[in-house]
């Protein structure tokens, strides 16, 4: 079964940047579309962005549009989420998730079959 491991989270000041990584193992990344979600305490899991299997299509939530870039390196089995101009409201646990299907709703958590354990992002004001 495919496994996903996120890394790159941490504590950053408002206005700063972070790059999160999602490494896929036990299978080949190119078979999967990958989404990023986040969940803050007491809130529902929220869509952040997604990237298609080829990388030709990316999707961004309105809440982060213009501040994030999703990319993938299939040779390295890694998907990246670059986040800039971070705000305190971006504080959350960030998860990556994968689906092997091409007909999917990138914004819906139930679309994805596999999830990582999450990485904490904390933005101080």
Q: Given a cut of 90, is residue 62 above it in pLDDT?
A: yes
Mean pLDDT of 44-65: 94
Query: What is the Cα–Cα distance from 46 to 27, expressed in whole angstroms?
Result: 26
CB 82, CB 75: distance < 8 Å: no
Rounded to an integer, what distance in angstroms lies between the CA atom of residue 82 and that of residue 41? 22
Q: Which residue has the tokens 């390196």?
A: 73
pLDDT of residue 65: 93
User: Residue 102: which pLDDT band, with cuts at 50, 70 and 90?
Assistant: confident
Compute the average pLDDT of residues 21-41. 95
Query: Please, are residues 60 and 82 in contact by the beta-carbon 8 Å criterion?
Result: no
Nearest to 78 by CA among 16, 6, 1: 6
Strands 3-7 and 114-115, how do they pair?
A: unpaired
Provide the pLDDT for residue 41: 92
| Predicted confidence band of residue 61 (pLDDT cuts 50, 70, 90) | very high
């Amino acid at each position: 079964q495919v496994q996903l491991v996120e890394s790159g989270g941490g504590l950053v000041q408002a206005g700063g940047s972070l790059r999160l990584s999602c490494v896929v193992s036990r299978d080949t990344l190119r078979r999967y579309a990958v989404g990023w979600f986040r969940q803050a305490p007491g809130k529902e899991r929220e869509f952040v962005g997604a990237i298609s299997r080829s990388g030709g299509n990316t999707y961004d939530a309105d809440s982060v549009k213009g501040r994030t870039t999703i990319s993938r390196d299939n040779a390295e089995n890694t998907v990246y989420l670059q986040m800039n101009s971070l705000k305190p409201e971006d504080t959350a646990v960030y998860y990556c998730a994968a689906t092997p299907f091409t007909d999917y709703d990138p914004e819906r958590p139930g679309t994805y079959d596999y999830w990582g354990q999450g990485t904490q992002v904390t933005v101080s004001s």
